[in-house]
Amino acid sequence: MLKSHLQLNDADRSTLESLVSKGTLSVKVYKRATALLKLDQGHTLQSVAALVEVNYNTVTTWRDRYPDEGLALLYDKPRSGRPVQIDGTQRAQITALACSTPPEGYAQWSLRLLADKAVELNFVGHLSHNHVGQILKKTNSSRT
Residue 134, SS3 per DSSP: helix
Residue 69, SS3 per DSSP: helix
CA angle, residues 57, 40, 32, in degrees to nearest 5: 50
Q: Is residue 42 within 8 Å of residue 3, measured between CB atoms?
A: yes
The tens digit of pLDDT for each residue in 42-101 reads 899 999 999 999 999 999 999 999 999 999 999 988 888 888 788 999 999 999 999 999
- CA dist 121 and 93 (Å) reads 10
Highest mean pLDDT among 17-21, 113-117, 137-141: 113-117
Between 142 and 7, the more confident residue is 7
pLDDT band at 1 (very low <50, low <70, confident <90, very high): very low
Give backbone dihedrals phi and psi of 46, rounded to 5 degrees, phi first. -65, -45
**Spans of all domains in the chain:** 10-74, 88-137
Between 133 and 143, the more confident residue is 133
Looking at residue 61, its pLDDT comes to 93
Q: Where is average pLDDT lowest: 52-56, 115-119, 137-141? A: 137-141
pLDDT-above-90 percentage for the chain: 63
* Angle between helix 27-40 and 56-69 (nearest 10): 80
Mean pLDDT of 123-144: 83
